Amino acid sequence: MTLVRAEPLKTILTTLLERAGTELERAGVCAEHLVLANLKGHDSHGVGMAPSYVRWIAAGKLFPNARPQVIHDKGAVMVVDGQFGLGAPVAKETIELAIARAKQTGVACVALRNSCHIGRIGTYGEQCADAGLVSMHYVNVVGAGPAVAPYGGREPRMLTNPYCCTVPRPDGDHIVLDFATSAIAIGKLRVAHMKGEPAPHGVLIDAAGFPTTDTNAFFTPGAGAYLLPFGQHKGGGLQVLCELLGGALAGQWTMQPGSDRHYGAAVNNMLSIVIDPDAFGGREIYEAEAGAMIDYVRGTPPSLGIDRTRVPGDPEREVQARRLADGVPIDDGTWRDILRAAESVGFTEAEVMALV
Ligand code: NAD
């Protein structure tokens, strides 16, 4: 394990992406996004994604300097094409448009389609919340074959379709509900696999539909183990909605077999609904009421084995405070991958280590 502080980690990632052909500013936005995901504790969507981005750029699947283009603008509704650009800057710029529009119209419903992997969705929710806005984000993932079965099924039909809903708080401690609709993120399963540990119970099924904890069977092509949705029929329902709203409505690209499953890079489509609480009138009353309710929830006596009752966003704030103080732990496999990707664009290990 390598412990790296956030600032040098950003510099390493920025240099890596810049040498892979990304303009400096866009490389910096992406590096910031990935390091923030690690700081928040979501290593599955942090700096470990950068080697894939470098590979997709080299393969001509990800166009690192492509800008999002508004292709339909109808008041509160906008459609933006991500042009298969680098996801973090593309999605950030799209959300800037959504924020500006929601401040004019009270609500904005913005579709982003054809963006390469946009990373941790909570970042876009936080971008809206920092502007004082509520937001909901339905996202699907396409460009590769399915790996997650629908509730009740024993064959995969989708990928990990994330959902996020964020509510702003005046003190900046926003409510950020942000998760994959699969029972566990693939990146977290990969960490267990690399350590030779079994998967948690209840997240994988084998080809016959029986529960399994064998991560080899998931990562070996054709071995026939698949992820389940979280929360049985409830998570399974949300997983399908992400496909229909993020995929079909926003992206016009779902995982149904008639659409392209072999693009060769992870592509996200996202429907964002951004709401200005001012449009409802009475922001002060709303904030006081919401604050009282959040305090009431946080004040619940904890269950056995739990230190305190939290609301969505609290765990990430706690990890961020620790990792800002101590540095970001990067597992050996991920660090090797980053060094290999760096080497492939002429950024030598010696140069990387000099930055650490
Ligand atoms: P997770 O299972 O860790 O759940 C995180 C959510 O649960 C957060 O909102 C967190 O605040 C809340 N939470 C956790 N513990 C809590 C507690 N004790 N009390 C109250 N709330 C609590 O998340 P995940 O499914 O592993 O997803 C990780 C990340 O992966 C997310 O940021 C998601 O956006 C991202 N993701 C992205 C894609 C993509 O294609 N771009 C796909 C899948 C997932």
Distance from Cα 62 to the centre of ligand 1, integer Å? 25
Question: Is 322 within a domain?
Answer: no
117 close to ligand 1 (CB < 6 Angstrom): yes
My answer on whether 29 and 78 are in the same domain is: no
DSSP single-letter state for residue 247: I
The secondary structure element, H or E, covering residue 166 is strand 162-167
- 55 and 92, same domain (yes or no): no
140 DSSP β-pair partners: 269
Q: Which atom of ligand 1 is nearest to the CA of 314?
A: 11
- The answer to whether the beta carbons of residues 177 and 311 sit under 8 Å apart is no
The C-alpha atoms of residue 118 and residue 127 are separated, in whole angstroms, by 14
pLDDT one-digit tens code per residue, 93-148? 999 999 999 999 999 999 999 999 999 999 999 999 999 999 999 999 999 999 99
pLDDT of residue 252: 96
Q: Which range of residues forms the domain containing residue 52?
A: 1-61+327-356
In a shared domain, residues 238 and 253: yes
Asked whether residue 342 is assigned to any structural domain, the reply reads yes
The backbone torsions φ and ψ at residue 3, rounded to the nearest 5 degrees and listed phi first, read -105, 120
Residue minimizing CA distance to atom 39 of ligand 1:
119
- Residues 113, 261 share a domain: yes
Q: How far apart are CA 342 and CA 344, in angstroms?
A: 5
Looking at the DSSP bridge assignments, the partners of residue 69 are 81
Give the residue whose CA is nearest to atom 19 of ligand 1.
310
Phi, psi of 221, rounded to the nearest 5 degrees: -55, 135
Pocket test for ligand 1, best of 45, 117, 298 (most atoms within 8 A of CB): 45
Please work out whether the CB of residue 46 comes within 6 Å of at least one atom of ligand 1.
Answer: no
- Please tell me whether residues 45 and 75 are part of one structural domain: no
Ligand 1 atom closest to 123 (CA): 32
pLDDT per residue as tens digits for the range 234-274: 999 999 999 999 999 999 999 999 998 899 999 999 999 99
Whether 108 and 162 map to the same domain: the answer is yes
pLDDT band at 193 (very low <50, low <70, confident <90, very high): confident
Pocket test for ligand 1, best of 179, 189, 272 (most atoms within 8 A of CB): 179
Give the model's pLDDT for residue 282: 87
CATH number at residue 93: 3.30.1370.60
CA 317–ligand 1 middle distance (angstroms) = 13
Residue at 333 is within a domain: yes
**Domain match, 53 and 93 both:** no
Residues 30, 164 share a domain: no
Q: Which of 280, 311, 340 is the last residue of a domain?
A: 280
Q: What is the tally of structural domains in the chain?
A: 2
